[in-house]
Structure 1
Amino acid sequence: MIHKLNDSVLLDRLAAGDEYALNEIYMLYWQDLFMCAFNVLKDKGACEDIIQDLFLQLWQKRTTIQITTSLRAYLYTAVRYNVFRQIRTGKVRTALFDEAADRMAANTTEFIMAEKDVSKQVARAVAGLPDKCREVYKLSREEQLTHKEIASRLNISTKTVENQLTIALKRVRASLNTVAVIIVTLMAC
């Protein structure tokens, strides 16, 4: 099918309930979106489900959806988000991670660069922590002190140490999860 309408017209018609607009968007983007997901997941069924769900949600939210970027960018972002969510929830085959490990081993230069990126991300995450939280994290992870030793050194309770460390680790892990998913995605392309 030849794409005759621009994205803003398609979105306007979609919002008005025009099924032809949805079909036009689907025909225009589904194959590239599928390949984007497949390059990472390597699971045809999972990728088909992601694309189907994306277009179903697009139709269901047609009257309320606010696309501030291009339609293409919106769709690709939605696919990447759903791929990352599948990876995070463990619905993807473990072979994906085995394959990523093999690629990293084969591409040591890329792996070293990725490792540096992860280290920088950890450093940025730690630098962004509140002062006390950062101090507790560094004493725990860099100086290998126990919770009791940290509490004694900082003159705070061990419960406060535990709470601050929980906050720090949660933020660092969240930062690493994003980086790890991006690295796996980049390695798959």
Structure 2
Amino acid sequence: MDISKLDDLTLLQEIIAGNELALTELFNRYCTFLKKEAYYRLRDRQLAEEAVNDIFVSLWDRRRKVQIDVSLKYYLFQAIKKHCAYVERGLKLYKQAINYKEDIDIDQAHGFDPTTLDEKELRYKLYRALARISAPSNRKAFVLFFVYRVPQKKIALAMNISLDAVKKKISRTAQQVRRYLKGDE
């Protein structure tokens, strides 16, 4: 069977069945289109390439659950748009953290030694870690607490949630950031 001659729907069925060659074909078919779209939105070649890779990794990971009711090209286009918006939110938070006058105490907040990285690389890693925090409320609580030094009680009042919920959100997010900064993710 020549996979390059299959239509998108058949390729998707092959991917769902676990055919990695079908995923590779789909990637090759839409990679350039998606990279252009991601670059248009992110204005960074490396981030655009990572965004496209993330979309295909996600498709592969969720292949047994995926339900696509539109054309595959449109589905991938929407996925890259959403993923780029997600990355942009992380970038915005990163810029806020960098512009904040006080330094973030990375050692205490994340259990990470910043002396092992130069400042530019550390900024990039911190941005990437913030971008990977999937729950907006967790990210918000984390940034308010560690970047803006807002007390947890005030965060709970501002977010209209319990103090315990704030503590859990901050703890979970700190664990995610710590794992990413240490290179476990």
TM-score norm. by structure 2 comes to: 0.47
* Larger RCO (CA within 8 A; separation ≥ 6): 1
Whichever of the two has the greater Rg, that structure is: 1
